Amino acid sequence: MGIKSLISTIIEAELKATDSFLVGIDSNQNETDIKFFIDSNDGVSIQLCSQISRKVSRILDEEYTDDEPIRYEISSPGAEQPLVDIRQYPKHIGRELEVILQSEEIITGELMGVSDKNIVILVPISKHEKEEKTIVFDDINKSTVKISFKRKKK
The CATH number for 101's domain is: 2.30.30.100
Percent of the chain whose pLDDT exceeds 90 = 71
pLDDT tens-place string over residues 135-152: 999 999 999 999 877 665
- Domain span at residue 13? 3-75
Is 135 within the bounds of a domain?
Answer: yes
The CATH number for 34's domain is: 3.30.300.20
pLDDT tens-place string over residues 41-81: 888 899 999 999 999 999 888 877 777 888 999 999 887 88
Residue 154 has pLDDT above 60, yes or no: no
Judge if 10 and 53 occupy the same domain. Answer: yes
- Confidence class for position 103, pLDDT limits 50, 70, 90: very high
Q: What is the pLDDT of residue 39?
A: 94
Tell which wins on pLDDT, 61 or 21.
21
Distance CA 102, CA 118 (A): 14
Count of domains for the chain: 2
For the chain, the average pLDDT equals 90
Distance CA 28, CA 21 (A): 22
Tell which wins on pLDDT, 64 or 125.
125
Is 66 within the bounds of a domain?
Answer: yes
Distance CA 38, CA 87 (A): 11
Q: Which amino acid would we find at residue 34? A: I
Question: Are 38 and 74 contacting, i.e. CB atoms less than 8 angstroms apart?
Answer: yes
Is 7 within the bounds of a domain?
Answer: yes
Predicted TM-score of the model (pTM): 0.79
Question: Are 114 and 90 contacting, i.e. CB atoms less than 8 angstroms apart?
Answer: yes
Residue at which a domain ends, from 18, 46, 75: 75
Is 152 within the bounds of a domain?
Answer: no
